[in-house]
Homo-oligomer: A and B are copies of this chain.
């Protein structure tokens, strides 16, 4: 065992024991086991139930009274039984040389029973057992087809497979954000709900996801940090490798006391956390929406340290709001080169002014959008593009969306699209987002995301330089 727990056995297990598996479809253990079938898990599954008889079978699999009776290598045991039975089950996992354990059961330090939780920790340490939880939803890995969530699947839209991994101390935030990820049309790599962080904590998870090749962007909901120093040590390394977006619950006196009764976290002072986040290159989100808005630009768009943004729009008023939003988020309005202006003059109707934001008028169609994006993508005076496509206007249709996708996935400058609206707009927004073009409901949201991208790019560049300078010495 190294400095940090490796979570491979938990996220890519070849064999799983479900302790608390049951024939009763209302039991958590039943739902978890059913989930393994539903997602097409291809490893071995062993249901464990203390009342199992010799010939009991659960969901078609032979059931065992104890994990000790299985007599095969178990990569992961999921414990889903009442709190008072968990200690014995964990002890048996240790004896059976189970490689990793997830305790989804609640009823420990979060309800004031720190003593019981301390006993679990003692067992885990004795057997060197990586244990996730308790009081958590467990994990989800869409590639390895592992899903320990015990929530009704019809209530949560399943995300597609992608590059964002998400760790959450809170199970409710976890399931809600999973649902939102699919709504925002970006793909998930891994989901880790870690609850009370009794053994495996934030530092372990950040370290694991930081080195996971399938994870391009990390999003993190935390209430408190157990090992502050270790967490910072990991963060220092990981934020240089990939963007880590963080949302901290309990940043105020009111929230902090709420966090304490939720996951027994000592939330600490906001100022202290914010200073740490800033210093170590975290991207701090102030709301769940913001967290998702940041994730979708980082996972799909290139970084830029420069901040001259060109705005094109098919609606003047939203262009005005966009100009405001650049300024308020510390970004600059691009000034087009003479060459770009000349090229645009040739393709735009006379009514279109070459100044930024460029209002291409309400009848702007895919040709006008395409020509503008093409010219701006080549203009050395432009670092990033904000494309406002109001699908309520006469010229905007699926060809405009296709054109934006074509350029948005080809050119080497970050692109954000602003497209507020109802059902017609939403169809096209889904289309663009599924192809990796981040779409925002307002210029303000898009500008915030761009500003976060530029800020992180600068942090990364600064630290790469420091790294190189250090090497030279």
Q: Which residues of A line the B interface, CB within 8 A? A: 107, 111, 151-152, 154-157, 168-176, 178-180, 182-183, 221, 223, 247, 249-255, 257-259, 261-263, 286-289, 313-328, 333, 351, 353, 355-357, 359, 362, 390-394, 396, 420-425, 441-445
Contacts and interface: CB of A to CB of B under 8 A. Distances in A.
B317 A179 contact: no
A318 to B, nearest CB: 6
A325 B421 CA distance: 26
A135 to B, nearest CB: 9
Nearest to A174: B317
B169 A317 contact: yes
Nearest to A267: B320
A261 B156 contact: no
Given A111-B351, A288-B321, A444-B287, A172 B315 contact: yes
Given A258-B320, A320-B262, A324-B250, A362 B172 contact: yes
21 contacts: A151-B392, A154-B424, A171-B315, A173-B315, A173-B318, A175-B315, A175-B393, A176-B315, A179-B420, A179-B424, A182-B422, A183-B421, A183-B423, A249-B324, A252-B324, A254-B326, A255-B324, A258-B320, A262-B317, A287-B444, A287-B445
B287 A155 contact: no
Nearest to A157: B422
A255 B313 CA distance: 14
Contact of A221 (B221, B250, B261, B317): B317
B392 A317 contact: no
Contacts of A327: 252-255
A391 B286 CA distance: 22
A392 B156 contact: yes
Contacts of A156: 392, 421-422, 424
Contact of A320 (B250, B359, B393, B394): B250
A263 B316 CA distance: 8
Given A315-B173, A392-B151, A392-B175, A320 B180 contact: no
A44 B107 CA distance: 72
The copy count of this chain in the complex is 2
A176 B421 contact: yes
A395 B257 CA distance: 26
Contacts of A351: 107, 111
Nearest to A324: B255
A319 B262 CA distance: 9
A425 B172 CA distance: 14
A325 B176 CA distance: 18
Nearest to A443: B287
A323 B255 contact: yes
Given A170-B315, A255-B320, A393-B175, A441 B326 contact: no
Nearest to A289: B442
Contacts of A176: 315, 318, 390, 392, 420-421
A36 to B, nearest CB: 19
B289 A172 contact: no
Contact of A441 (B178, B289, B424): B289
